[in-house]
Structure 1
Amino acid sequence: MTALMTVLGIVVFVVGLLFSIAWHELGHLSTAKLFGIRVPQYMVGFGPTIWSRHKGETEYGVKAIPLGGYIRMIGMFPPGEDGKVTARSTSPWRGMIEDARSAAYEELKPGDETRMFYTRKPWKRVIVMFAGPFMNLILAVAVFSAVLMGFGIQTTTTSVQSVNACVVAATAKTDRCPKDAEESPALAAGLKAGDKFVAFNGHQVKDWDALQKQIRRTIGPATIEVERQGRPVVLHANLIKNTVPKIDGSGHYVQGETQKAGFLGFTPARGVVKQTPAQAADWMGDMVVNGVQNLIDLPKKVPALWGAAFQGEERKPDSPMGVVGAARVGGEVFTLDIPPQQQLATMLFLVAGFNLSLFLFNMLPLLPLDGGHIAGALWESIRRHAARVFRRADPGPFDVAKLMPVAYVVAGVFICFTLLVLVADVINPVRIG
């Protein structure tokens, strides 16, 4: 049964992956057609074609390897200095440029002279290239919102799971009360497991983050109102200063660090809680910030990834993960000992996170990514506006093809990194529990 559920989880993730890719390319396709650019192909996947069908002037199809997709537009790059695709040079770098330019003119037909990508105004080209990643962002926001507000997420609540018997510093290497330890303020005040905080020192308690901050700011007497078995109960506690785990501005624990703060002495319960629209927005904002930070930190994680792949080192939970690793996690989701609705919510979270990553990654201003083409169009716009301001001749389209040698280097780095992640995902995968 476990094997069957694992396979089911992988299949569901792959379907979500293919839909995400198709959705991304649909953004490019729809805006390209809106601006009159001819699009000969719309493909999901790479490699041999499994299925395709022509509709109008475009061939729609699915290929064997679900690791991406593409649309092919006529005239992605402007012609050479002589106004046409030049003959191939003996220079390898020049050859790359001319190969890219030649590919951009494949299937050029009479009447296509005014339907080429490079002939469109820079702002239209920006929209066409941005539309793909933007579709992933839309899907990520929609799925995250549905899960956060519809299913809810596992979070720390304002209910009490257990009450500490005594005061022990976070740095103490024990989970037992020393003989000389004093009674915890929570126990002394009469707080009990199952109590739900309603107010703290006259302030209504809305969520755990706010309650935790109020407790840590308080040293001395405090009035606590809780709900116990449906009835309101007022307690009086005397909070003390203690060494507790450090939290950052977002309420997240800072691993390995402590601080001095007010201490009450209880463990909050965790549960599935539906988020309000404001909470969902805050949560997604944190996801974007964390995603950007993870992209910035990506080079730093390569040594640990290499160690996990080839030296038997432990795979860290925040280690970069590829499609294979994500599919394995998707397979594990359906084997978790949690309610079916939470399995579905977790799977949707995985797909939404994948779409958010696609958006952020594709916005990097590097060819061959969408962000590289956006940067080229913006640079062309700046050059042309500057020429008009200084009354100089129009410099014409910016030849993005000249950056193809750089694009091949970037693509080579991406391929090497992808292979490293693939090996790590197969040999030493990230696991969930």
Structure 2
Amino acid sequence: MTAIAFLIGVIVLVLGLAVSIALHEVGHLLPAKLFGVRVGQYMIGFGPTLWSKRIGETEYGLKVLPLGGFISMAGMYPPAPEDAKPGTKRSRFFATMVQDARDANAETLIAADDRVFYKLPVYKRIIVMLGGPIMNLVLAVVLFTIALSGIGIQQGTTTVASVSQCVIPASEGRTECTPTDPVAPAAAAGIQPGDRFVSIDGTPVSTFAEAAAIIQRSPGKQLSVVIDRDGAQRTVQFTPATTDRAVTDANGRSVVDASGATEYQTVGFAGISPQSALVRQPIGTSLEATGQYIGSVAQIVSQFPVRIYDVVVDTLNGQPRDANSPMSVVGAGRLAGDIAAVDAPILDRVQTMITLLGGLNIALFVFNLIPLLPLDGGHVVVALWDGIKRQIARLRGTVARPVDATKLVPVTFVVVILLVATGGVLFLADIVNPVQLL
């Protein structure tokens, strides 16, 4: 069953990624058609075509490798300048690439046809190119909303799971009570597993975190606690004991001092452990999660060379990889399989899988905004460059020639080679030294 669950997780990830790519291209397709651009192809994947169907002037289809997609717009670039010169022997390789790009672009042009991309106003070209990443962003928000507000996240509830019988300072590192340990306040007050906290010290509580915060800041202070037991409310009193707790940082890790010893702080303690349950979050939580994911992915992208180097070093040294290290589709697939196969309630696994797909869409959003061709961000830069060039020419009383972006094909070639190389490194690392779920 574990192997079947793993396979299901991989399949869900592949299908989810394919849908994300398809919607990304729809984000380009819709505004392009809305602005009147002639779109020859809408394809998902690369390589030989598995299936296609022409509807109107556009051919829709699927290709062998579902690792991307594209739409073919007429006149993506302006016609080659009449005075364009062939390259010298030294640059013949790149000159040939530029000419091939111009020839391919020329095939999409039809005489006296103004339904071409390069003739659109700058703002429309930007809308077309940003349509794909924006679609991924919207999809991520939808997925996070389903995961966080539709299903929820595991949180401690106000229902008591267990009650400690004694107070044991965290610094002593033991779990068993001794005859000299004081009785835990909650046990002394008669609180039982299954009781649900309604309010503490006059403050209504809806989560365990809210209840714990009141208790921890009230050592030595008697608190009046309203609980619900079997549908009937009753009031009990207890005074939180004074105990120590390890200080943790924003990531939940213990803070140590200069000597390496764990730091502790004095807090109130009642001796209560909560039941956990999937708690639905407010709708706005998905926007917060989206912002956090964008920041995390942007940080990874900004440090990409360093991150790739760390992946190589960890793999060669046999060290576990950072959980936040970049990964290939293979790595994402393995992670999805691990999530599906983990020993946890099915709804928890579904929630985690949806969150993973949301994170992948954020990665597609951020990655495609990198201002380098052939990425969408590179096309946006070209459009802005063309607009600035036209404005300068207008101020001078002249007419600017459209930006010949085919001259950037060598740069595009280098970017593609780098992407393929890093993808190969991550592919091998994800096989030899994958990111571990736990």
TM-score, scaled to structure 1:
0.85
C-alpha distance in structure 2 between counterparts of 1:256 and 1:428, whole Å:
29
The 5 Å alignment of 1:284-323 reads 284-323=290-329
What one-letter code is carried by the residue in structure 1 that aligns with 2:237? L
Name the residue aligned to 1:205.
Answer: 205
Please state how far the C-alpha of 1:237 moved relative to its aligned partner.
2.3
Question: Relative to structure 1, is the Cα distance of residues 167 and 5 closer, same or farther in structure 2, using a 3 angstrom cutoff?
Answer: closer
Question: Relative to structure 1, is the Cα distance of residues 345 and 197 closer, same or farther in structure 2, using a 3 angstrom cutoff?
Answer: same
Name the residue aligned to 1:409.
Answer: 414
1:271 and 2:277 correspond = yes
Question: Relative to structure 1, is the Cα distance of residues 275 and 391 closer, same or farther in structure 2, using a 3 angstrom cutoff?
Answer: same
DSSP 3-state at the match of 2:53: strand
Q: Report how many aligned residue pairs link the two structures.
A: 426
Q: Contact conserved, 1:88 with 1:98, CA < 8 A, in 2?
A: no
Equivalent pairs: percent with the same residue? 38
C-alpha distance in structure 1 between counterparts of 2:156 and 2:304, whole Å:
29
1:245 and 2:244 correspond = no
Question: Relative to structure 1, is the Cα distance of residues 160 and 405 closer, same or farther in structure 2, using a 3 angstrom cutoff?
Answer: farther
Question: Relative to structure 1, is the Cα distance of residues 224 and 379 closer, same or farther in structure 2, using a 3 angstrom cutoff?
Answer: farther
Name the residue aligned to 1:30.
Answer: 30
Question: Relative to structure 1, is the Cα distance of residues 189 and 424 closer, same or farther in structure 2, using a 3 angstrom cutoff?
Answer: farther
What one-letter code is carried by the residue in structure 2 that aligns with 1:122? V
C-alpha distance in structure 2 between counterparts of 1:219 and 1:396, whole Å:
76
Name the residue aligned to 1:398.
Answer: 403
Name the residue aligned to 2:238.
Answer: 236
DSSP 3-state at the match of 1:221: coil
Question: Relative to structure 1, is the Cα distance of residues 185 and 417 closer, same or farther in structure 2, using a 3 angstrom cutoff?
Answer: farther
What one-letter code is carried by the residue in structure 2 that aligns with 1:291? V
C-alpha distance in structure 1 between counterparts of 2:295 and 2:224, whole Å:
35
Name the residue aligned to 2:17.
Answer: 17
Q: Contact conserved, 2:245 with 2:264, CA < 8 A, in 1?
A: yes
For residues 204-242 of structure 1, what are the alpha-carbon distances to aligned partners after superposition, in whole Å with 9 as ceiling and x for unaligned?
323355455555555552525353424343333245473
Question: Relative to structure 1, is the Cα distance of residues 236 and 98 closer, same or farther in structure 2, using a 3 angstrom cutoff?
Answer: farther
Question: Relative to structure 1, is the Cα distance of residues 38 and 48 closer, same or farther in structure 2, using a 3 angstrom cutoff?
Answer: same
1:138 and 2:138 correspond = yes
C-alpha distance in structure 2 between counterparts of 1:145 and 1:119, whole Å:
39
Name the residue aligned to 2:428.
Answer: 423
DSSP 3-state at the match of 2:29: helix
Deviates further, 93-102 or 117-126:
93-102
Q: Contact conserved, 1:133 with 1:359, CA < 8 A, in 2?
A: yes
Q: Contact conserved, 1:185 with 1:240, CA < 8 A, in 2?
A: no
C-alpha distance in structure 1 between counterparts of 2:9 and 2:376, whole Å:
30
Deviates further, 186-195 or 421-430:
186-195
C-alpha distance in structure 1 between counterparts of 2:363 and 2:15, whole Å:
17
DSSP 3-state at the match of 1:105: helix
C-alpha distance in structure 2 between counterparts of 1:153 and 1:16, whole Å:
21
C-alpha distance in structure 2 between counterparts of 1:255 and 1:298, whole Å:
28
DSSP 3-state at the match of 1:320: coil
Q: Contact conserved, 2:240 with 2:268, CA < 8 A, in 1?
A: no
Q: Contact conserved, 1:188 with 1:237, CA < 8 A, in 2?
A: no
Please state how far the C-alpha of 1:128 moved relative to its aligned partner.
0.5
Please state how far the C-alpha of 1:49 moved relative to its aligned partner.
1.4
Please state how far the C-alpha of 1:275 moved relative to its aligned partner.
1.9
For residues 167-203 of structure 1, what are the alpha-carbon distances to aligned partners after superposition, in whole Å with 9 as ceiling and x for unaligned?
434x665555699876666556665544444334433
Name the residue aligned to 1:372.
Answer: 378
The CA RMSD measured in Å over matched residues stands at 3.2
DSSP 3-state at the match of 1:272: strand
DSSP 3-state at the match of 2:221: strand
Name the residue aligned to 2:78.
Answer: 78
Name the residue aligned to 1:432.
Answer: 437
TM-score, scaled to structure 2:
0.84
- Structure with higher Rg: it is 2
Question: Relative to structure 1, is the Cα distance of residues 419 and 341 closer, same or farther in structure 2, using a 3 angstrom cutoff?
Answer: same
Name the residue aligned to 2:47.
Answer: 47
Deviates further, 176-185 or 329-338:
176-185
Q: Contact conserved, 1:190 with 1:235, CA < 8 A, in 2?
A: no
Q: Contact conserved, 2:39 with 2:57, CA < 8 A, in 1?
A: yes
1:262 and 2:267 correspond = yes
C-alpha distance in structure 2 between counterparts of 1:326 and 1:254, whole Å:
26
Specify every segment of 5 or more residues in structure 2 that has no aligned partner in the other structure, as ranges.
Answer: 257-262
Name the residue aligned to 1:102.
Answer: 103
Please state how far the C-alpha of 1:132 moved relative to its aligned partner.
0.7
What one-letter code is carried by the residue in structure 2 that aligns with 1:237? T
Specify every segment of 5 or more residues in structure 1 that has no aligned partner in the other structure, as ranges.
Answer: none
1:381 and 2:383 correspond = no
Name the residue aligned to 1:166.
Answer: 167
